[in-house]
Amino acid sequence: MKVETAVSSSANVVPLVESLAHTRIRDCYQCGKCTAGCPMAAGMDTPPTQLIRLLQLGRAGRALRAQAIWQCVSCQTCATRCPKSVDCAGVIDALRQLSAERGMATPAQQRIVLFQKAFLRNIRRNGRLNELELIGEFKFSTFLRGRSLSFLFKDATLAPQLMKRKKFHLAGEKARDRGVVARIFARCMDDSQL
Amino acid sequence: MNLAYYPGCALHGSSNDYEQSLRACFETLDVRLKEIDDWICCGATAAHSLNQKLAIALPARNLALAENEGYRQMLAPCPMCSMQLLKARKALAEDEALRRSVSEIVELEVRGETQVLNLIQLFEAVGLDRLKAAVKTPLGSICAACYYGCLLTRPASVVEFDDSEQPRSMEKIVETLGGKTVDWNYRTECCGAGMTMASEQTVLELSHKILSNAAAHGANCLVVACPMCHVNLDMKQVNIERHYGVRHAMPIYYLSDVVGLALGFKAEALGIDRHFVCSATGKA
């Protein structure tokens, strides 16, 4: 049944979030200061105060599926201003990680999820970010999902403009010891589905 | 003064104009920057969004490389990098078990002792008096909105720099160089950060507010110390203008651009001519 699925997929989320973010969800007394200062709150389905409340109420499934966790720009205003020192930005990071690992990320924010994944794959391969390659890979993966031609070609004029200003490495820089980078990734991401 | 230098990916890519201007400044000021050999990406937002262990390990590898080369201080001019490095450093310094496990993961002993400086802090370490004495062309025509964005001052418990609500460190430097600064409201608001590619609309909205507020308070340029802020406010400015049907024409300088101009460098020597928004001041 649907309810059981929601419960089992969100079981143990709160302790996991607390250990990943090194913070205590129960400390929050819902003053709303995090949402008041959040530059993205106006467009969020579940603003920061409510994300924390969902976790307090044991409704983690809704938090993991929220659009808000992917709309967050990680500006750290919520965490810096919290009078109870709840690391709200850290909680959102933890929710993103669990949401992506469990395949629960909202389809509505798919582009952002795909971008972050493409970014990690890129540095896993190169040791350093290859911006051109990242743009290509990100555009291609979003095209496979959404088939939007306009998004595929949206930034096509950017590359020549950057080139005119000598603002990137054509070949892309790579770390020399890419073996160690690959091993670091493997050790950190062993249990992860990403 | 000798210190390790962690450029990060942006300064070797689309923000190489930032590296050009800061290198020019520090050569003149007798600060020797030694690039960390075979540094790797800090992981940025992708790592801290998708894997918390990676978000510690990637910066930790770079801290370890600097420590093993014997450096006690390093410059990380990108606030994303410096925040990630500082966060890892703090976590490692507080937890011996974590130090041991991360040292194994990154295949180098990491102690988390290297001090990490942002660009503003390195200018402060040089000293405002020395900067003032080195001025050849005072910044008479500049009326700057100093823009800190997010990660130079936040999270305050990690970066421990300036005041997270009312920072003044950049204003002090610009004023030391003979420039004027304005009081305005968006100094520590977010520009949209790493959403540039994945959610351009976010960047357009947030950066439009920043540019509008700076202009409304009489600024004739913005001064930043972050490659991401520069991309969103400079490169994306034409898209912002098109989207909102306005004309900002607001030049965006890196802090090292205005320091460099005051030290007597030509705009071309600092890479200012490679910005997207042209400036009358920069060509002086």
Q: Are A122 and A145 within one domain?
A: yes
Residues of A in contact with B10 (CB under 8 A): 129
Burial of A155 (0-12, 13-18, 19+ CB in 10 A): middle
**What CATH topology corresponds to B136-283?**
Rossmann fold (3.40.50)
pLDDT tens by residue, B215-251: 999 999 999 999 999 999 999 999 999 999 999 999 9
Res A192 pLDDT > 60: no
CA distance B151 to chain A (A): 7
Q: Which of residues 48-67 of A touch B (CB under 8 A)?
A: none
Q: Mean pLDDT for chain B? A: 96
Q: Would you say residue A19 lies in a domain?
A: yes
CA gap B17, B52 in Å, rounded: 31
The count of structural domains within chain A is 2
Mean pLDDT of B13-18: 95
For the cut 50, the answer to whether the pLDDT of residue B283 exceeds it is no
Which helix (H) or strand (E) is A49 found in, with range?
Answer: helix A48-56
DSSP string, B170-207: HHHHHHHTT-EE---S-TTS---GGGTTT-HHHHHHHH
Of A74, A114, A155, the CB nearest to B45: A74
A40, B202: Cβ pair inside 8 Å?
yes
**B71-96 burial, b if ≥16 CB within 10 A, otherwise e?**
bebbbbbbbbbbbbbbbbbebbeeee
Domain limit, last residue, from A36, A67, A101: A101
The CA distance from B144 to B225, in Å, is 13
Residue A121 lies in a domain: yes
**Domains in chain B: boundaries:** 2-119, 136-283
Residue A194: inside a domain = no
pTM (2 decimals)?
0.95
Q: Is A129 left (phi over 0), alpha (psi -120 to 50) or beta?
A: beta
- One domain, residues A160 and A89: no
Residue A77: list chain B partners with CB under 8 A: 150, 154, 188, 190
**Fold match, B2-119 / B136-283:** no
Q: Tell me: do A28 and A90 sit in the same domain.
A: yes
Residue of A nearest to B199 (CA): A112
Task: List pLDDT tens digits, range A104-137.
Answer: 999 999 999 999 999 999 999 999 999 889 988 9
The answer to whether the beta carbons of residues B170 and B131 sit under 8 Å apart is no
**Which residue type, as a one-letter code, is found at position B45?**
T
Q: Out of A108-112, B7-11, B24-28, B105-109, which region has the weakest mean confidence (pLDDT)?
A: A108-112
The reply to whether B135 touches chain A by the CB within 8 Å rule is no
Of B101, B37, B85, B84, the C-alpha closest to A184 is B101
| Cα–Cα distance, A39 to A76 (Å, whole number) | 10
Among the partner residues B16, B49, B105, nearest to A97 by beta-carbon distance: B49
- Please answer whether residues A39 and B189 qualify as being in contact, where contact means their C-beta atoms are separated by less than 8 angstroms: yes
Q: What is the pLDDT of residues B61-119, one digit of tens each?
A: 999 999 999 999 999 999 999 999 999 999 999 999 999 999 999 999 999 999 999 99
The arithmetic mean of pLDDT across residues A44-73, rounded, is 97
Is residue B282 pLDDT above 70, yes or no?
no
Q: Per-residue DSSP letters for A115-172?
A: HHHHHHHHHHHHSS--HHHHHHHHHHHHHHHH--HHHHTTTTTHHHHHHHTT-S-SS-
Q: What percent of chain B has pLDDT over 90?
A: 96
Q: Which residues of B touch A192 (CB under 8 A)?
A: 50-51
B136 touches chain A (CB under 8 A): no
Q: How confident is the model at residue B284 (pLDDT cuts 50, 70, 90)?
A: very low
State pLDDT tens for residues A3-19.
444 444 566 899 999 99
Q: At B115, which helix (H) or strand (E)?
A: strand B115-117
DSSP codes, A5-17? HHHHHTTTHHHHH
Task: Give yes or no: residues A120 and A29 share one domain.
Answer: no
How much is the pLDDT for A194? 55
Distance CA A62, CA B39 (A): 39
Name which residue leads in pLDDT, A149 or A138.
A138
CATH number of B2-119: 1.20.1050.140
Residues A66 and A47 in one domain: yes
For residue B105, the chain A residues in CB contact (below 8 A) are 184, 187-188
A115 shares a domain with A97:
no
Q: Which domain holds residue A120?
A: 107-189
**Phi, psi of B116, deg, nearest 5:** -110, 125
Query: A130 and A182 in one domain?
Result: yes
Residues A75 and A164 in one domain: no
In B245-274, the residues whose Cβ lies within 8 Å of chain A are 274
Q: Per-residue pLDDT for B186 more than 70?
A: yes
Shortest distance between the Cα of A142 and any Cα of chain B, in A, equals 10
Token pair, residue B245, equals 């049907």
Please check whether residues A8 and A85 belong to one and the same domain.
Answer: yes
The mean pLDDT of chain A is 90
- Looking at residue A23, which CATH number applies to its domain? 1.10.1060
Nearest residue to A76 via CA among B190, B204, B119: B190
d(CA B28, CA A9): 59
B283 neighbors B155 (Cβ within 8 angstroms): no
Planar angle of CA B266, B270, B271, nearest 5 degrees: 115
Are A60 and A112 in a shared domain? no
- At B113-154, the pLDDT tens digits run 999 999 999 999 999 999 999 999 999 999 999 999 999 999
The pLDDT of residue A143 is above 50: yes
- Identify the three-state secondary structure at position A67: coil
* CB atoms near residue B101 (< 10 Å): 15
Give the pLDDT score at A9.
56
CA gap B264, B225 in Å, rounded? 20
Give me the pLDDT at residue A10, please: 63
- Contact across the interface for A131 and B206, Cβ inside 8 Å: no
Q: Please indicate, yes or no, whether residues A141 and A90 belong to a single structural domain of this protein.
A: no
Note the pLDDT of residue B197: 87
Same domain for A44 and A10: yes
pLDDT at A2: 42
Average confidence (pLDDT) over B249-274: 98
Run of H or E including B73: strand B73-75
Write the DSSP assignment of B14-52 as a string of letters. Answer: TTHHHHHHHHHHHHHTT-EEEEPTT-----HHHHHHH-H
The CA distance from B144 to B245, in Å, is: 24
